[in-house]
Chain A
Amino acid sequence: MNIDLQAREIEPLRHTYAHVARYVGDDKPASRYQEAIFGAQPSANFHYRPTWDPTHEIFDASRSKVVLADWYALKDPRQFYYASWSMARARQQDAVESNFQFVESRGMVDKIPDALRHKAVQVLMPLRHAAWGANMNNASICAYGYGTAFTAPAMFHAMDNLGVAQYLTRLGLALDDPAVLDEGKAAWLNDAHWQQLRHCVEDTLVVKDPFELFVAQNLALDGLLYPLVYGSFVDDHVALQGGTAVAMLTAFMPEWHDESARWVDAVVKTAAAESEANRLQISAWVQAWTERAQAALAPVARLALGDAGGDALDEAAARLAERCRKAGVRG
């Protein structure tokens, strides 16, 4: 008896879920990102308004002054959904882990001049608290924002910020005694260099408009802080004076900032392009918060880089202004 095996193609009746097909069409299979994002925002059949905010629905686009016909337009160019995000971060975690092993196995910390090591600890330890503020703010964007395309990556961003704070903690423990963590907190609370930044971070914690908070935290504050601290200070200053170990142990931060800046810019660009009113509103936020963040970071820049701090901060501001210009808002 012969058995004839044949491959037979069965054309699926539908290529994706109906709620996804409404956005991307049903003519070809939707990507995992599209299936994770489109149509996932709860939008109907809420029985009661929340007791803590009776003027809004639980999920309510009107919490922001930015008006979009379709909040799913704020797509993430990185196309992160949980699996792709966590796999990308796992790879980066492996890289940082091997950097820590490299630095520890070769005693590279002992080769850093003491004054430089103290300076690095002095500048980087209080930033754990700034990263925690960024974590809180992005969690708030996720909670009060609208549209899964906008809120889901905000939650990833919140966890990334927690990761940054944890890397800073490990850096502190690698460079010095555990007491430096307490000293960093004391400096964050009391040292005059940090008070303006703390004031700025604490003011962002109570911003109600999720899109304003997004602009303040992710575009203005982080857009200045990361190039200043991890670019000008760690890579251009500390690393060149014998502190390569510090640059290796903070390698995640500038890499992550460059990657996530693409998402931040894309969100701002899409929202600003939707209407003139959006563009003016976002521009006003960008200007106000950039000014605020720049003033708050000036003492930190001086603490980190001395007289060169002002120039480094101006350079970071110029780069941020260029990002804003490309995104179509006035910086």
Chain B
Amino acid sequence: MSNVFIAFQHNEESRPVVDAIVADNPAAVVVRSPGLVKIDAPNRLQIRRATIEEQTGRPYDLQQLHVNLVTLSGHIDEDEDQLTLSWKH
């Protein structure tokens, strides 16, 4: 078992994304360092558009998260509704 992670700049735009990740991935661990929020999760981490929209009450385009994305590790599976990191091919 190995971790995947994703890190965002710590600001108002990334806050609902981080909250959504925590809601969808119970095993995720949030590490807040100055200016940066890094989220580690064992094996798999999923970001769902629907959950972010629940947080904000407004439509969200998943591409918006790239504005605040700093770094990530894992293989990416991405479409309009979700972005999943895992080590599966």
Contacts and interface: CB of A to CB of B under 8 A. Distances in A.
Contacts of A84: 12
Contacts, number: 22
Interface string A66-97: 00000000001111000010001000000000
Interface in B59-81: none
B59 to A, nearest CB: 8
B12 A9 contact: no
A9 B34 contact: yes
B82 interface: no
B58 A259 contact: yes
Contact of B58 (A9, A31, A78): A78
A9 B34 CA distance: 7
B34 A79 contact: no
Interface string A1-27: 000000001100000000000000000
Contact of B57 (A10, A29, A32, A263): A263
A262 interface: yes
Nearest to A12: B34
B45 to A, nearest CB: 19
Interface residues of B, number: 9
Nearest to A259: B58
Contacts of B58: 78, 88, 259
Contact of A78 (B12, B32, B34, B57): B57
Interface in A77-125: 77-79, 84, 88
B34 A10 contact: yes
B12 A31 contact: yes
B34 A31 contact: no
B57 A9 contact: no
A101 B14 CA distance: 33
A9 B32 CA distance: 10
Given A9-B33, A9-B34, A31 B15 contact: yes
Interface in B9-58: 12, 15, 32-34, 55-58
Interface in A4-62: 9-10, 28-29, 31-32
B22 to A, nearest CB: 10
A4 to B, nearest CB: 19
Contacts of B34: 9-10
Interface of B: 12, 15, 32-34, 55-58
Interface of A: 9-10, 28-29, 31-32, 76-79, 84, 88, 259, 262-263
Q: Which 5 A-B pairs have the closest CB atoms?
A: A77-B57, A78-B57, A32-B12, A262-B57, A31-B15
Given A10-B34, A31-B12, A32-B12, 14 more contacts: A9-B34, A28-B32, A29-B32, A76-B57, A77-B57, A78-B56, A78-B57, A79-B55, A79-B56, A79-B57, A84-B12, A259-B58, A262-B57, A263-B57
